[in-house]
Amino acid sequence: MKIITLAVIMLLTACSSAPDINYYQLPPVVSQATAAQEQQRLLFVEPVQVATFLNGRGLVMQLSEVELVMARQHVWAEPLAQQLQRQVRDRILAHNPAYKAAARAEVATVKLRITIDGFHGTADGYATVSGHFAINAVNALQAFSFQVALQQDGYSALVSALAEGVQQLSMQIAQQLPQ
């Protein structure tokens, strides 16, 4: 009898499979032609600081004023802070040909520091992108907060709406860069 029970348990265990994990990343930025290099300023985007609850791999949903849930099967393909640093830099450069990316902070004419406090979905169908930024260390911190409506249900729609929030942030920063 023990052998039959053991065989049934092994058969059931072999038939079960781990749930699928879906990986997401913010969409790539389409770059535009740039100005002559002699005229360009050098922009360095410092590593983006994200709130601790956003440091996990899972996408985050805010279910109520006090409840946040991190998805287990819908995760970022790479760390969120890295994606945000690259996204903001590339989006600013795509819309502002007077700038090009600086490889190191020491050679940059303009340095950008960003802190993300909110980068998540809400139960009422919005994506929230919030935090603050500073252009060069001498400028005051400027707060930002964007709410983007999801076009449909699902995590793919959430990532698209979050990317739209990053686009809005990038445009706000680009408008304030020294010319």
- CATH (domain of 26): 3.40.50.10610
Q: Token digits for 88?
A: 């903001």
Higher pLDDT, 17 or 145: 145
Residue 18 has pLDDT above 80, yes or no: no
Band of the pLDDT at 123, cuts 50, 70, 90?
very high
pLDDT in tens, 40-72: 899 999 999 999 999 999 999 999 999 999 999
How many residues does the structure list for the chain? 179
Compute the distance between CA of residue 16 and CA of residue 138 in angstroms, rounded to an integer.
Answer: 58
Q: Looking at the domain assignment, is residue 169 inside a domain?
A: yes
CB 157 within 8 A of CB 122: no
Tokens 């990038």 — which residue? 170
Q: CA neighbours within 13 Å on the CB side: how many for 162? A: 24
Q: Token digits for 13?
A: 């265990």
CB 110 within 8 A of CB 136: yes
Q: Looking at the domain assignment, is residue 104 inside a domain?
A: yes
Band of the pLDDT at 11, cuts 50, 70, 90?
very low
Under the phi-then-psi rule, with left for phi > 0, alpha for psi from -120 to 50, and beta for the rest, what region is 125? Answer: left
| Lowest-pLDDT range of 3-17, 50-64, 87-101, 106-120 | 3-17
> What proportion of the chain, given as a percentage, has pLDDT over 90?
72
What is the average pLDDT score of the chain? 88
pLDDT at 7: 45
Q: Looking at the domain assignment, is residue 72 inside a domain?
A: yes
Other C-beta atoms closer than 10 Å to the C-beta of 133 total 22
pLDDT in tens, 65-102: 999 999 999 999 999 999 999 999 999 999 888 999 99
One-letter amino acid at 2 equals K
Q: Looking at the domain assignment, is residue 65 inside a domain?
A: yes
Nearest CA-CA partner of 46 in 98, 119, 111 = 111
Q: Looking at the domain assignment, is residue 8 inside a domain?
A: no
Q: Looking at the domain assignment, is residue 12 inside a domain?
A: no
- Indicate the number of domains in the chain: 1
Q: Which residues form the domain of 64?
A: 22-176
- Whole-model pTM: value is 0.85
Residue 33 has pLDDT above 60, yes or no: no
Strand 110-122 to 126-135 pairing: antiparallel
Q: Looking at the domain assignment, is residue 2 inside a domain?
A: no
Q: Looking at the domain assignment, is residue 149 inside a domain?
A: yes
Compute the distance between CA of residue 63 and CA of residue 68 in angstroms, rounded to an integer.
Answer: 6
